[in-house]
Amino acid sequence: MSDISIRPAVSGDASVLNRALSQLSADMGDEHRAGDADIARACFGPAPVLHAVIAETADGSIVGVAAYSPFFSTVYGSVGIYVSDLWVDQEVRGQRLGERLLAGVHRAGVDAWDASFIRLGVYHDNPRARAFYERIGFVAAEDTQFMSLAGNALQSLGENA
């Protein structure tokens, strides 16, 4: 494990970052719609909205990725970090690499935004992931539920207001 380093993603990483995120989508049974250009624009364009840390072996293989974004919480009165994606290659799972990636996200968030907490979502049908997060101290928010607005509903937002 000592031959794996955690580093911030840089603009030249867009395609390897997207490959890792695509593998996460495949592992989760999700459709992966992002292309390399989408990742490059979101992470390294003029107004970045996505950030990432990468776990890399000494030979340059990418074995883990955490993608995240800042947000402000009036409840906490501070900036939080939303981890949208966390992927660890099956070959290195069980070696605390996920925890190291999250620690890298935390350090980056503190340095950039003075972030004081991390939030993420876990699929209901993924008890192994939930157990991992709980083991390192995440607490499920029983009083809230994430909701999404997209597609036609988003496009028609406000039309009848």
**How many helices (H) and strands (E) in the chain?**
5, 5
pLDDT at 160: 81
pLDDT at 146: 86
pLDDT at 145: 84
Question: Six-digit token pair at 12?
Answer: 């030249």
pTM score above 0.85: yes
- The pLDDT tens digits for 36-57 are 999 999 999 999 999 999 999 9
pLDDT at 1: 52
Alpha carbon 75 to its chain centroid, in Å, reads: 22
7 contact partners, CB below 8 Å, separation of at least 6:
53, 54, 56, 104
Question: Six-digit token pair at 79?
Answer: 């900036």
Q: Please list the alpha-helical segments (H only) found in the chain.
A: 14-28, 36-44, 97-113, 127-135, 151-155
Regions of the chain with pLDDT less than 70: 1-2
Question: Six-digit token pair at 146?
Answer: 């994430």
